[in-house]
Every structure is written in C-alpha cells, then in structure tokens.
Amino acid sequence: MILTTGSAGFIGSNFVLDWFDQGDEALINLDKLTYAGNLENLASLKDNPKHIFVHGDIGDKALVSSLLARHRPRAVVNFAAESHVDRSIHGPEDFIQTNVVGTFHLLEAVRAYWSSLPEPDRADFRFLHVSTDEVYGSLSKDEPAFTETHRYEPNSPYSASKAASDHLVRAYHHTYGLPVLTTNCSNNYGPYHFPEKLIPLMIVNALAGKSLPVYGDGQQIRDWLYVKDHCSAIRRVLEKGRPGEVYNIGGWNEKANLDIVHTVCRLLDELKPRSDGKPYGDQITFVADRPGHDRRYAIDARKIERELGWKPAETFESGIRKTVEWYLENQSWVTNVLSGSYRQWVEKNYAERG
C-alpha cells in the first residue's frame, strides 16, 4: 500500500487512475479538496475498495500520523500543492501555508512513522516529493536546459514556495536519513486539467466563443509533458530511484505559448469547427504580461533516461490531440468544474490585463 497526497487534483488524479490501470496495490488518497481538487476525476474508482479516499490536509499532522499508523504504507507520494502562478501573485499566503508549512508537517509525520518501522521495511520505505522546473528560474533563449544541479532562482511566490519545500525535503534526507526522492517536472497537460491553465483555458474559451487571452507577445517558452508520461516517470522513480536523488522529468517539447494556442485552434478547427465557419484563431487576443513572467523553461531529462531507463512515450503532436479530444468528449466534466468561483477568478485575472 502507498499513501498519496493532493491526488484529487490534475496530476495526482491521473497518477491514481494510472496506478490502478497498472496493478492492484492499494492506495490511500489524502486530499483537502480545494478549488482544484475534484473527486469527479476519480469517479471510475468509487467502487474500488483498494482506493481509500480521505478528506484532509497534509498540514494536519495528527491525521497524517494516524493514517500512517493504521495503514502502514511502504511509500508516500506528495502531490499536494498550490500550483498556479497567477493565483500566487494575487494571494501568496495560501502557497506558503500549503507548500512550505504543509510540507513541513507532512515530513515530520512521515519521519516519525519511518523511524518506528522495523528493518527491512525502514530501508525499503520511500518519500517521493513532486516538484516543478519553475524552482530553477528563467532561461534565455540560448542557455542550456535545466539539469538537476542547476541553481535555484525562483521568481514567483509559487515557485519560491515550491523551492522551499524542495529544500526541506533535501534537508530531511541529509539531516535525518529519510529516504526521499524529488522530481522536478516541466509543464504538464492532458485530461482533468483545471481550466485556469493555458491549454484547457484555450479549449474552454474557444468553444464558448470567448477571447483567447495570451500574455505579452506569447513567446514565453515551456517544455510540455503529457501528464500520463509524467505519471509513468513517477512510478519509475518510486521503483528504481536512488534515495536522496533529484530527477528532472521533461517531454523534450519546447514550445512558445502562442504556438500552443495556434495548435489548439487548428485542432478545434478540424474536430469541432465554428458554426460560422471562421477559424478559432480569430479569437486570440493579447493581454498585458503578468509580473515576473519567466521567459523560458527547458528540462534536461537525460539523467532519468540514463539511470532509470525512462523517456516520454508521447510526442507533443500525439499528446495535444489526445488532450483536445478528451475535452471535447468530456464536456459534462468541464461544465461541472466551471463553478461561479472559477468564473470570478478568470474574470478578475484577465480583466485587469485587457
């Protein structure tokens, strides 16, 4: 059995679904169910007795300790995080509480549990912390991609809070010997992505006939990773990764934001043409850039391929088509996610930049 945290959200729920597709080992799913946590993502598991959902906070040390003592998992995979840069600009405190303070309380509970384990369970235990490439800061156009030894230079409250959590995880390994693993991934995309992020926002707005807001000149470059590839990498790191090590996970797909938007528009033109026959690209609008917007991220994923034999299965072309098709086929999920609070958030964030 393993314990996952924050796994009713985008990446976590995809990991849980893939976990049960790959095997039948039981999994405890602890999630606070904030705005991005959605149990509908896991509806297919509602009758699976090996998926144990617990509504709770990683910052609740007593709850986490009781779950560890009762279920005695062999590993903890920490997905729990506030993860949207724009939200961190408007309200940084939640990011500090969840990503820094919450991770600290989780580590404390896990350390106490791990210390109590008999050998060989103690040697076999793993704590896997899921992080982001944003902790490394921004790259110029010609700089080499981020490696695992790149200096941390976070530029937003979100990335700073994730950097702090990474440092805590590292410290608990070097100070206490806790067998930790850290993964730093590039931009994920795919099914169940909360529609405040670039790709699902473009799909949702395009179909609704709304403008497609692009920050600045749209030339911010990201490395795009299909979420199910990310999940397979996490499983590989959990199985074969060396305690104390960091593994960068990337898709080898550097794309400018504006190119992403045009790709989504072309796929929608093909799969769901506008009733007036015009291209979705006509809906693209440029808005003021966000503060501290990093220009380029790029992941060097050679270490995980060299040491653990992992590389992504999807190209960007195959992954983005699957993503657009999923959103078209799951409009009821989209409708349910688009709550009043979400609409107010989008209006607030983009109205200020129009």
Domains in the chain (CATH in brackets) are 2-192+225-252+293-314 (3.40.50.720)
Burial environment of residue 23 by CB neighbours within 10 A (0 to 12, 13 to 18, 19 or more): exposed
Mean per-residue pLDDT, 27-49: 91
Residue 124 has pLDDT above 60, yes or no: yes
Looking at residue 89, its pLDDT comes to 86
pLDDT band at 22 (very low <50, low <70, confident <90, very high): very high
pLDDT(352) > 80: no
123: three-class secondary structure by DSSP? helix
Judged by average pLDDT, the poorest of 155-169, 189-203, 252-266, 333-347 is 333-347
Contacting residues for 1 by C-beta, under 8 A, at least 6 apart? 25, 26, 27, 28, 71, 72, 73, 74
Q: What is the mean pLDDT of residues 104-133?
A: 98
pLDDT band at 291 (very low <50, low <70, confident <90, very high): confident
Q: For residues 49 and 67, give the distance between their C-alpha atoms in angstroms, rounded to a whole number.
A: 16
pTM for this model (two decimals): 0.93
- Using alpha carbons, list the distances in angstroms from residue 52 to 22, 31, 64, 218, 235: 17, 11, 14, 42, 19
The whole-number average pLDDT for the span 201-205 is 97
pLDDT band at 347 (very low <50, low <70, confident <90, very high): low
The two tokens of residue 265 are 């528009």
Interval 119-127 mean pLDDT: 97
Q: Please say whether the beta carbons of 119 and 220 come within 8 A.
A: no
Six-digit token string for 182: 């850290």
pLDDT, one tens digit per residue, over 44-84 is 998 999 999 999 999 999 999 999 999 999 999 999 998 76
Mean of the pLDDT values across residues 131-150?
96
- Residue 201 pLDDT class (50, 70, 90 cuts): very high
Q: How confident is the model at residue 350 (pLDDT cuts 50, 70, 90)?
A: very low
Asked whether the beta carbons of 196 and 84 are under 8 A apart, the reply is: yes
The tokens describing 290, both together, are 């966000």
Calpha distance 117→123 (Å, rounded): 9
* Total H helices, total E strands in the chain: 14, 12
* Percent of the chain scoring above 90 in pLDDT: 86
Q: What is the mean pLDDT of the segment spanning 157-184?
A: 97
The residues annotated with a catalytic role in the active site are 133-134, 158
CA distance 151 to 135: 9
Provide CB contacts within 8 A for 156, sequence distance 6+: 85, 88, 89, 134, 292, 294
Mean pLDDT along residues 201-212: 97
> Does residue 88 surpass a pLDDT of 80?
no
Mean pLDDT, range 217-223, rounded to an integer:
95
Per-residue pLDDT at 341 exceeds 80: no
Q: Calculate the average pLDDT of the chain.
A: 94
Residue 345's pLDDT band, with cuts at 50, 70 and 90, is: very low
Residue 320 token pair: 């983005």
User: What's the CA gap between 68 and 174, in Å, rounded?
Assistant: 22
Distance in angstroms (rounded) separating the CA atoms of residues 229 and 310: 9
